[in-house]
A = this chain, B = another copy of it.
Amino acid sequence: MRIGAIEAGGTKFVCGYGNEQGLIEERVSFPTRMPAETLADVIEYFQDKQVEAIGIGTFGPIDIDPASPSYGFVTTTPKAGWSGYNFLGEMKKVFPVPIGWDTDVNAAAYGEAVWGAAQGLDSCVYYTIGTGIGVGVFAEGRLVHGMVHPEGGHVLVRRHPDDTYEGFCPYHGDCLEGIAAGPALEKRWKMQGSELPPDHPAWAMEAYYIAQAVSTSILMLSPKKVILGGGVMHQQQLFPMIRKEAARLLNGYVSHPFLREGIDHYIVPPGLGDNAGLSGALALGLAAYKQG
């Protein structure tokens, strides 16, 4: 089988294809431009690939309610030109194959459950922590959509007592994304996150914030795995700090071997590494194919 996969980001689109075992056989990427131009690149790429299904994991917010008149649209994004764009509809016009459609983070959560760190489990929460913070939720064997889709990057966290940075989220100021995504690191410390040394106090503060989000997701959803991906999480030193802080916050109240003895295997990086997004899109395509 050959299944197409699209990881549609606000700055770049990654396209590729793979097989039903999750093996990515090719991946290319190009910058995200205006919708028509970007879709032209996508169409050109897939035109001769003869894929049997396609999965799309995309930036949003998007409409993923099949009963909605704007199903398949990008909705209220500030990204120029994309708000109100019928992404899925345009794809369907050109490719008469089953097409899976979800948020980039739900796709990644699903990919991790099918082939990655949460393989064989019926629940996980996936965070991407990079230029923004997004959350994908897989619960009781299903991706959570609900009214719109989770937007857990924007929860409020308690401010670190030493933090004077006001946050950059245009909607919420110092919500999680506003004080813990990549741009917050850069604005607070006047240095790119990737340039901050591993023992810089920036990372203890970052872990303080991310651990609150992790602990909230455990209390709200009780997932069987918490997966932390995205550019900021390339800082491997964050993992032990986040695990320790999350355990301190929960303080034994949620009692399960996963937390008591297994926290190193419970709060983890993506099993699919930087392919989590594209593999997730592949998994969505495969699921769409199976549904017919």
Instruction: Give chain A's interface residues, CB within 8 Å of chain B.
Output: 61, 75-76, 123, 135, 137, 139-140, 142-159, 171-172, 212, 215-224, 249, 251-256, 258
Contact = CB atoms under 8 A, between A and B. Distances in A.
20 contacts: A61-B254, A135-B220, A139-B140, A140-B143, A140-B144, A144-B221, A147-B224, A148-B222, A148-B255, A148-B256, A151-B222, A153-B219, A155-B219, A156-B157, A156-B215, A156-B249, A172-B249, A172-B251, A216-B220, A220-B221
A221 B156 contact: no
A173 to B, nearest CB: 9
A175 B224 CA distance: 23
B145 A220 contact: no
Nearest to A75: B255
B152 A220 contact: yes
Contact of A150 (B150, B152, B222): B222
Given A172-B253, A251-B171, A222 B145 contact: yes
A156 B220 CA distance: 11
Given A139-B144, A155-B219, A171-B253, 10 more contacts: A61-B254, A76-B255, A123-B144, A139-B146, A147-B222, A148-B255, A156-B157, A156-B215, A156-B249, A158-B158
Contacts of A171: 251-253
A124 B283 CA distance: 27
A104 to B, nearest CB: 16
Nearest to A61: B255
Contacts of A220: 135, 137, 150, 152, 155, 216-217, 220-221
A215 B61 CA distance: 17
Nearest to A258: B147
A18 to B, nearest CB: 26
A206 to B, nearest CB: 17
B251 A137 contact: no
A139 B156 CA distance: 22
Contacts of A219: 150-155
B216 A144 contact: no
A141 B254 CA distance: 25
Contacts of A218: 147
A222 B156 contact: no
Contacts of A75: 255
A156 B158 contact: yes
